[in-house]
Structure 1
């Protein structure tokens, strides 16, 4: 606190701080070195600043044996530019001590320094400058998950992703388990097995539940047999209409098929250290099949969607079932009637918004080979079709799960509107059930419409979807409308896009929506045959 009070007292003189950049070179105390020690670009719970906000943060360390006067040193998120933030004169960092700076645009306070710039959750380049303006450290910070940091490993100085420890010694993240086989398709063979390795205790599940919380998690003690599970009873695809909160459809009496579906083995594993900290969960999907099935699935893209089954089928939070909220509505509205296809029904699968998004691991295979695996968010998609046994999904790449973009050409013929480049990066896409006649009509019409320059279309292809290791059927994999779709297809920056659907703002600032509404109201109340009114609208 004394350090920060002295620093804050000098902030009033910081108007002249820019002159410190050109001051004489600063002589480090013997053995002393100022370094960026840890960076958090997606803080949610690890640090609360003096404004009560969960600001991102940068931690510096004096690695030397003597105190350092760091007045005049600077920080920037652009190594090619001058420092954006300069430490006030008289700021001293003790030997071996740490200093946390809030990475926000708020003003520094009596007890806390703020950089004046924010950090990018998709990755950042930080630069640390000496008072003479020379860059003494450049740090390439990768995209980080929420409450994950990038910092110096204790004892080595090597940079690594880790769990956040603001103003405390860095703690390396628990290493993920290593799988002996990658996700993929394998010919059924006797004695094939999967082994896992880690210096810590490994917990794993085979039912797609989260091994860090699941009651079914087992401690790994030996090889896991790999075999064709298709002859085993259906589990998740056995949900049907049964008048309970776990009905996947409303009053239509849908009964699940008694046929045994093709299945994959889903292994989810996490390592647990001696202090009880878990690593990230690693999810792999294995298709062990005879050669005929392997040949069939090599001819069509295959997507494995893995999520804790509760995210789909739990009566309270499951997005694939009607849920307790529907039963409660029906109980409190005796005699009330709504068609089961009415999208205003109070059912889990009719519910929308971020509250009804669930985490999942999405893995894609083509020609039997692994394309990508990425943790993403899933939501139920559509209107009345949500009340069907084969529901559609929207899939979102978000930094809270991992990467904020999916960097893979999921649609190999998807070119930008001027046919100048293949689109290889997506922020979202959709998986749409194909069991509807209008889907066939739409595909028949879409291809010729692509030749019209002034009409936007969505590229798509067919795929087979497995959910939690069970075959779900054939789906359309297609582009999803978003601000990034507009950017990648039409070259308009995402931040300049405003999307309105059914009269509601989906993307963009409220101000843009207000401007459009005001323009609409103007058109309703003015005669556009008037040149003055017409010129205003045209402008």
Structure 2
């Protein structure tokens, strides 16, 4: 009996041990254990000017180090930035010898060829995130002593100090070599806090600044420039604010990385209505005219006089002053703040590319203060084609969200009718010559000052109603360094990131073409589509079936109907975007720059054939498709769908959309 009882107890102990071992294997262990002496040695999460990968890209990178004497085969290991997915990126069958280093680019390119540079299937987050090695056999995780790791900075390495076990910001990146012995900083100065938030004010305030880092000194500026220890005023007491002020501040401490620059715009509407013709720090002109333009009284070689003043005939008239104030508070406001020297892009509108991109602080302010906006740093460029002409009175802008400036994307639910909450670029459309700063044609027939600002927004909103997708937009009042710059339409750009977000796939799979040519991606399928159109004979069923595999027929029909209905006089040869997903997707077309609609009513024009830039692909494509009976029937069906029975283009719905937009502004 005793023996049996002993056997039963022994059996239960064995079962419990087995279960415990099984549970342990199914629950990855978190900690600083370093299996086989394999370590995450250092990494760079914001690589801008350092190491390049084989594609020439400055991809982020992670360095592994085998601190032992024995070689380690990595086929049983993986890298991860997600504790819930420890096996996120598995190493190929590759051996790391004792004392050797291995570099893995954190590029999201997912390359595992052991004979080529390795690329993980994720990128590193500069704000800080989890990072670990995982051993698939022991099912245990090896993390750094600081995981998630803290916020990272441009071209700065984070890793082990020499051979020590502790991690920190290193003096310099050393890929493939022993780490630096000294740390760049002991820590990071905490973010600043402001006693008054950005927004609209009508009474004097005194703004106090705070940082939680003991011993840190705060420096600030009020002219739009970035504050520094040598370029800002030392904060010693509350800052009195009595008029429109751009307060930028940062905190510094010896051997610490300074806090991020914080920007708060305090806008006083009385100041804005009294905006003078010669505001402080702004230039009196934007360069000189390079050619004559009678409509604008532009004379080659003469200065382009800057127009800053709020029209006193309106702003100083008691009948209009209060309505103006209410109007400025009826829409969200966008405040762009930067060093005044960065507005050189406005005086050089023809210049393009990164060389003419300038850093800017961007603040979205809701006047009622009830809805929270945002502040983010970004890049700013001039946007547009015709709007780049120096004689145009009002320029468009494009905003770029990059890790160079801070966040790699704007994370904010910007458009009420869109599920998207993340953006890498946005466009500020100013209406070019069709705005309140426009002109009267020399024939005195067309007065471009009599505008609505809503034509393009109506066109894109209508495409959304008809086909489900187009660029979303909102209206904002724009301020440049505290000066009112006018009414703008803030919109999405239909690029590869837009396509990925709304249509799926990966950004790299999408081809984007517009009237100026290729924007990005392989255009093989797009070119094949238009080759089929040029070849014609689409009345043949097999040829029509082939072109259907390259074109979203119903979406294209909707696109044509919309432009005809609106009487668009500047499309076909101009103002379009086409998106194609490779390797087997269909091309779809998107409305863009629709200011020249609603001039003479509906019009079935398809644009010019011999216009400058890209050939008129749309006209050739439509005429080729029209030869097919099935296409003609589909076109008739879509016409009926949209023009009758509560369709998107019935008089009632088209007018309601138009009135909604115009009531808004």
Q: 1:227 to 1:428 in 2, by over 3 A?
A: same
Mapped pair 1:168 → 2:180: yes
After TM superposition, the score normalised by the length of structure 1 is 0.64
Whether the 8 Å contact between 1:126 and 1:140 is mirrored in structure 2 is yes
Superposed displacement of residue 503, structure 1: 4.3
With over 3 angstroms needed to count, the CA separation of the structure-2 counterparts of 1:70 and 1:299, relative to structure 1, is farther
Select the structure of larger CA radius of gyration: 2
Question: 8 Å contact 2:204–2:243 — kept in the other structure?
Answer: no
Is 1:398 the equivalent of 2:402?
yes
Per the alignment, residue 356 of structure 2 pairs with: 356
Which residue of the partner structure matches residue 300 of structure 1? 331
Mapped partners of 2:45, 2:155: distance in 1: 8
* Structure 2 SS opposite 1:471: strand
1:177, 1:202 within 8 Å by CA — same for their partners in 2?
no
Match of 1:514 in 2: 524
Structure 1 runs (4+) deviating above 6 angstroms are 28-33, 48-53, 106-109, 152-163, 291-296
Offset at residue 408 of structure 1 (A): 0.7
- Name the SS of the counterpart of 2:90 in structure 1: coil
State which drifts further: 514-523 or 42-51: 42-51
Query: Closer, same or farther in 2 for the Cα pair 1:534/1:451, shift >3 Å?
Result: closer
Q: What is the correspondence of 1:272-421 to structure 2 with a 5 Å cutoff?
A: 298-312=329-343, 318-321=344-347, 348-366=348-366, 367-368=368-369, 370-386=372-388, 387=390, 388-412=392-416, 414-415=417-418
1:205 aligns with 2:212: no
Is 1:120 equivalent to 2:123 in the alignment?
A: yes
Counterpart residue number, 2:455: 441
Alignment of 1:30-45 (within 5 A): 35-45=39-49
* Partner Cα distance (2:163, 2:191) in 1: 23
Match of 2:103 among 78, 101, 104: 101
Shift of 1:302: 1.3
Partner of 1:23: none
Q: CA deviation at 1:349?
A: 0.4
Q: Which has the higher contact order (CA 8 A, sep 6+)?
A: 1
Greater strand content: 1
How many equivalent residue pairs?
A: 426
> Partners in 1 of 2:356 and 2:548 — Cα distance?
41
SS in 2 for 1:452: helix
**Counterpart of 1:480 in 2: which secondary structure?**
coil
Structure-1 separation of matches of 2:54 and 2:476: 50
Q: CA deviation at 1:180?
A: 3.3
* 1:452-471 matches, cutoff 5 A: 452-453=466-467, 456-471=469-484
Aligned to 2:141: 136
- RMSD (Å) for aligned C-alpha atoms: 4.6
Unaligned runs of at least 5 residues, structure 1:
1-27, 94-98, 262-290, 313-317, 322-347, 416-421
The residue aligned with 1:240 is 285
Quick one: which of 245, 256, 268 aligns to 2:307?
A: 256
**Residues 311, 377 of structure 1: CA spacing in aligned structure 2 closer, same or farther, 3 A cutoff?**
same
Write the deviation string for residues 73-96 of structure 1: whole angstroms up to 9, x where unpaired. 634246235731577264147xxx
**Taking structure 1 as reference, are residues 429 and 70 closer, same or farther at Cα in structure 2, changes over 3 Å only?**
same
Which structure 2 segments of 5+ residues have no match?
A: 1-31, 245-270, 291-295, 313-321, 437-450, 550-665
Structure 1: distance between partners of 2:482 and 2:237: 22
**Residues 437-493 of structure 1, C-alpha deviations (whole Å, 9 max, x = no match):** 263334455555542126x43332221111122222222222222222233334454
Among candidates 86, 93, 96, match of residue 79 of structure 1: 86
Distance in structure 2 (CA, Å) of the matches to 1:188 and 1:438: 30
**What secondary structure is seen at the aligned counterpart in 2 of 1:409?**
coil
Q: Does structure 2 retain, via aligned residues, the 8 Å contact 1:79–1:126?
A: no
Q: Is 369-378 or 78-87 further displaced after alignment?
A: 78-87
**Does the CA-based 8 Å contact 2:220-2:234 persist in structure 1?**
yes
2:155 to 140, 144, 147: 147
Cα distance in 2 for residues equivalent to 1:227 and 1:156:
54
Rate the CA distance shift 1:477–1:115 in 2: closer, same or farther, 3 A: closer
Contact 2:159 2:168 in 1 (8 A): yes
Q: CA deviation at 1:305?
A: 1.0
Alpha-carbon separation, structure 2, partners of 1:55 and 1:451 = 40
Equivalent of 1:431 in 428, 431, 438 = 428
Structure 1 contact 463–474 (Cα < 8 Å) conserved: yes
Alpha carbons 1:46, 1:147 under 8 Å: kept: yes
Question: 3-state SS of the aligned residue for 1:439?
Answer: coil
Superposition TM-score, scaled by structure 2 size: 0.53
What is the aligned partner in structure 1 of residue 497 from structure 2? 484
